[in-house]
Amino acid sequence: MDVKVDTAQFKLDGATYELNVRHGTIGPSVVDISGLYRDAKIFTYDPGYTATASCESKITYIDGDEGVLLYRGYPIEQLAEHGSFLETCYVLLYGDLPNNAQRKEFESAITYHTMLHEQMSRFFSGFRRDAHPMAVMVGVVGALSAFYHDSTDINDPQQREIASRRMIAKLPTIAAMAYKYHIGQPFVYPRNDLDYASNFLHMCFAVPCEEYKANPVLARAMDRIFILHADHEQNASTSTVRLAGSSGANPFACIAAGIACLWGPAHGGANEAALTMLEEIGTPDRIPEFVERAKDKNDPFRLMGFGHRVYKNYDPRAKIMQKAAHEVLGELGINDDPLLDVARELEKVALNDEYFIEKRLYPNIDFYSGITLRALGFPTSMFTVLFALARTVGWIAQWKEMIEDPSQKIGRPRQLYTGPVAREYLPSSKRI
Residue least distant from ligand CMC (Cβ): 307
Residue 253 makes contact with ligand CMC by CB under 6 A: no
Q: 50: buried, middle or exposed (CB in 10 Å: 19+, 13-18, 0-12)? A: exposed
For residues 84 and 432, give the distance between their C-alpha atoms in angstroms, rounded to a whole number.
68
Q: Which residues contact 259 (CB under 8 A, 6 or more apart)?
A: 134, 137, 138, 141, 237, 388
CA dihedral in degrees (223, 225, 227, 229; nearest 10)?
-140
Positions in 1-40 near ligand CMC (CB under 6 A) = none
Report, in Å, the least distance between residue 200 CB and ligand CMC. Answer: 20
Of 359, 404, 405, 413, the one binding ligand CMC (CB under 6 A) is 359
Per-residue binding letters, 262-281, with ligand CMC (x by CB under 6 A): ----xxx-x-----------
For residues 203 and 189, give the distance between their C-alpha atoms in angstroms, rounded to a whole number.
6
DSSP state, 59? Answer: S
For residues 242 and 323, give the distance between their C-alpha atoms in angstroms, rounded to a whole number.
33
- Strand 68-71 vs strand 60-63: parallel, antiparallel, or unpaired? antiparallel
Of 361, 373, 390, 396, the one binding ligand CMC (CB under 6 A) is 361
Q: Which residues contact 374 (CB under 8 A, 6 or more apart)?
A: 275, 339, 380
Task: Compute how many other C-beta atoms are within 10 angstroms of the C-beta atom of residue 258.
Answer: 31
Residue 312 makes contact with ligand CMC by CB under 6 A: no
Residue 62 makes contact with ligand CMC by CB under 6 A: no
| CA distances (Å), origin 325, targets 268, 329, 365, 366 | 18, 6, 12, 12
- 82 classed as catalytic: no
Residue 307 makes contact with ligand CMC by CB under 6 A: yes
Stretch that binds ligand CMC, among 90-98, 182-190, 251-259, 301-309 (CB under 6 A): 301-309
Report, in Å, the least distance between residue 211 CB and ligand CMC. Answer: 37
For residues 419 and 162, give the distance between their C-alpha atoms in angstroms, rounded to a whole number.
46
203 or 304: whose CB is closer to ligand CMC? 304
DSSP per position, 195-212: -HHHHHHHHHH-BTTB--
Task: Compute how many other C-beta atoms are within 10 angstroms of the C-beta atom of residue 429.
Answer: 5
- 308 classed as catalytic: yes
181 or 395: whose CB is closer to ligand CMC? 395
Residue 199 makes contact with ligand CMC by CB under 6 A: no
Per-residue binding letters, 206-245, with ligand CMC (x by CB under 6 A): -----------------------------x----------
105 or 299: whose CB is closer to ligand CMC? 299
Positions in 318-337 near ligand CMC (CB under 6 A) = none
DSSP state, 286? Answer: G
Residue 191 makes contact with ligand CMC by CB under 6 A: no
67 or 190: whose CB is closer to ligand CMC? 67
The site for ligand CMC, by CB under 6 A, has a size of 19
Q: Which of 132, 202, 308, 337 is catalytic?
A: 308
Catalytic residue numbers? 308, 366
The contact set with ligand CMC (CB under 6 A) reads: 235, 266-268, 270, 294, 302-309, 359, 361, 364-366
